[in-house]
A and B are shown apart, each in its own frame.
Chain A
Amino acid sequence: MKRLSRLRRHRAAGPVLLIFALFTIGTTFQVASAVNQENATVQSRSTAIAEGKEIFLRGCSSCHGLNAEGQEIAPSLIGVGAASVDFQVGTGRMPMADMSQQAVRKAPVYSPEEVHALATYVASLAPGPAVPGDELLNYERDGSVAEGGQLFRTNCAMCHNFAGQGGALTQGKYAPTVMGVQPKHIYEAMITGPQAMPVFSDKTLTPEEKLSIIKWIKSAESEPQLGGVALGRVGPVTEGLLAWTLGIVLLIGVAVWLAAKAR
């Protein structure tokens, strides 16, 4: 007993006890909170699935079927993954405005939370590409603009045009402009291949290369109009139109004026 009391009075006793106490409290809290978190995620996930299902039944099932199994007019969504839903609904393409050739990008109908719920619900049906997290989208840190430009011209420009302004495809389909699109949505488009677009899997374009492409797109987007009015960046058609309208009309106008003055 004497020994214990002596130890109790040792000058290191206080700090040691303090460290021990802190360690115990920390560990206990860690374990307890981890258990809590686990419960919470599971719980919020199942709430999200339930919410998502509700939104789905209300807004999507008339075309995609009550169990997302698809119908004649709309494809099955089983296995398309959260990324696909996040892209289609998050960019306003779904729900479609009309049954035209292609879903048009417009102001999203659902809030980000609702999109998340829908995506979680669809992802719960079968595994598919997930929504890329922020750590995957740090294009400012990771990509290379020059490489991205090369990759864009090789893989994307044939449909989306050299400056990402979009272009025509067959039968009224088109590749939309990639200007003003969130990096997340560009990334999702590449991994899910919406509408006429092919899928660019991680074997075709590594995540790093995808980031480079996004980086180049963002750089093209913010590039000032270096040579003056950009004329839509669609090539010689608009240039020819301007020459045939403003250019020659100004010159003929002056010619008429020069000849009229002589009278």
Chain B
Amino acid sequence: MTARERIAGNVAGYVDDRTGGAKWMKKNLQKVFPDHWSFLLGEICLYSFIILLLSGTFLTFWFDPSMREVVYEGAYEPLQGVKMSAAYASALEISFEVRGGLLMRQIHHWAALIFMIGIVVHLMRVFFTGAFRKPREFNWIIGVGLLTLGIVEGFLGYSLPDDLLSGTGIRIAEAIIQAIPVVGSYLSYFAFGGAFPGLAFIPRIYVVHVLLLPGIFLALITVHLMLVWYQKHTQFPGPGRTEKNVVGYPLMPVYMAKAGGFFFIVFGVTAFLGAVASINPIWLYGPYNPGQVSAGSQPDWYMGWLDGLVRMSPPIETYLFGYTISWNILIPGLILPGIIFTGLALYPFIESWITGDKREHHLLDRPRNAPNRTAIGAMALTFTLVSLINGGNDIIATSFDLTINQMMWFSRIAIIVLPPIAFIVTKRLCLSLQRADRDLVLHGRETGRLVRMPNGEFVEVHEPISPEKAWLLTSHEQLAPLELPEVDGAGVRRPAAIRNKIRNRISRAHAVAVPKATETERRELEGHH
């Protein structure tokens, strides 16, 4: 034992004597994680969140969340002498006078965009592989909560600098609040501490943005990760992988190195974007003034689809007992998002209700083997994409020589027509892929070698696939649809029976699949060839 090892041992022993951490560390540092690139998508979120905390803290040193009116006398010449809020002036100070301030602001904003992209991509991975199934429903709900809060947090950050764009965004938020029937205008007065824009809103959302929501985020992310730790990570099916084990590499040293390295890469990409690409050039927008608005005022992308829904909604209003109900804002701004996020949060329960499957699942599905779920996902993505495209309709119209009216009508029709088409096409594609898998298992791989038989017939030589691959293509289980009794004991159709009938029908649609190749079929064919 060298002197250095002895010193290290003494220090470790000293700490262990007082914390008893050695046993816990030994156990947990050996914890095994499965390896797949898509399991790193959640880490993108975690790391960009850390970057957001660090860069955000830097920004708070100089940002003054106050609506006090000041006359700008800073470094940016085109605004000198202009009256503005202290919030906007301090955001300009961060951009032009604080050393590294503009870079930090841009890193903060790019990290926010990447954080939200990471959440969506991670959500897609979890959804399409069925990782949300029992026992991970709670973690799914926490994830949906993080997504929703992320949208709110991002919007508040976008609103803080009090430039023309953020003020326009707040104005739209105010309109959506006011669209709530009966209490809308009261809520708006409550949120703004009076009439729009008032002096109270920026200081209030500042506290929410830097204290309340980050606190909730930290708590939710901790629970999210602890649940992953406790429930263990899901894995893709493969040789030696079962519902009862986890095949992969230990945390120490493999994942420590990988995850640590990945953090620096995420930081590097964000810093690179912050260094080379301008984001939210607040000095060009000018200070907020309710009498001004810019063409092409858009929210950041994670709100863009909501803006797109509002932009495509037809002008419908009802005048009832002296109150105006603005359906044109209420439906796209509140009702649809409410339905979408509730549906998203409840999806694990809906699927388990359809399949009747209450078992635990630790092995992931290949998306093709759950055609109905994959098709629902494709449908939801199509819906969001159409509305996101409409959110940028003016920029797209000018860039591609289209008219904004065409864009709007395209979106109005496409938002209803395209999602069902996406559902049907995706489901068919999944079934075709299943059929291809079945062919592969039964007939082997096409080699492209043609052989002429003695009788003159040409045949292509098929090569059997490896047993591992065959196992991979046939290991998934194909659940039979539910068959609940549709009549009661006395042969009478009762309300419960009708519900069962509906559930059976949905379950049948959900369970549609190409029967996977069985061992008997394979042997039979082998004998035949």
Contact = CB atoms under 8 A, between A and B. Distances in A.
By secondary structure, the A interface counts as helix
Contacts of A163: 281, 284
Interface stretch (A33-41, A45-53, A117-125, A169-177): A169-177
B397 A242 contact: no
Contacts of A166: 295, 398
Contact of A170 (B37, B258, B285, B405): B405
A168 interface: yes
A248 B114 contact: yes
Interface residues of A, number: 61
Interface in B364-404: 391-395, 397-398, 401-404
Interface string B283-311: 11110010111111111110010000000
Nearest to A157: B294
Contacts of B401: 172
A162 B275 contact: no
B525 to A, nearest CB: 32
Nearest to B169: A236
A174 B398 CA distance: 7
A154 B38 CA distance: 48
Interface string A148-170: 01100110011111110111111
A243 B113 contact: yes
A178 B240 CA distance: 66
Given A150-B286, A163-B284, A229 B277 contact: yes
Contact of A243 (B95, B296, B301, B393): B301
Interface residues of B, number: 75
A179 B275 CA distance: 25
Interface in A222-263: 223, 225-231, 233-240, 242-244, 246-248, 250-252, 254-256, 258-260, 262-263
A149 B301 CA distance: 27
B207 to A, nearest CB: 25
B295 A159 contact: yes
B432 interface: no
A162 B77 CA distance: 17
A168 B269 contact: no
A227 B106 contact: yes
A260 B392 CA distance: 37
A220 interface: yes
Central interface residue in A145, A170, A233, A236, by most chain B CB within 10 Å: A236
B298 A243 contact: no
Interface of B: 35-41, 43-44, 77-82, 95, 102, 106, 109-110, 113-114, 117-118, 121, 164-165, 249, 254, 258, 261-262, 265-266, 269-270, 273-281, 283-286, 289, 291-301, 304, 391-395, 397-398, 401-406
27 contacts: A150-B82, A157-B295, A162-B164, A162-B284, A163-B284, A166-B295, A167-B398, A168-B295, A174-B397, A220-B78, A226-B102, A227-B102, A227-B281, A231-B277, A235-B165, A235-B298, A235-B395, A237-B395, A240-B113, A247-B110, A247-B117, A248-B118, A252-B37, A256-B37, A258-B258, A259-B36, A259-B37
The 8 closest A-B pairs by CB, nearest first: A167-B295, A240-B301, A227-B278, A172-B403, A162-B294, A168-B394, A243-B113, A255-B40
Interface of A: 101, 144-146, 149-150, 153-154, 157-163, 165-172, 174-175, 216, 219-220, 223, 225-231, 233-240, 242-244, 246-248, 250-252, 254-256, 258-260, 262-263
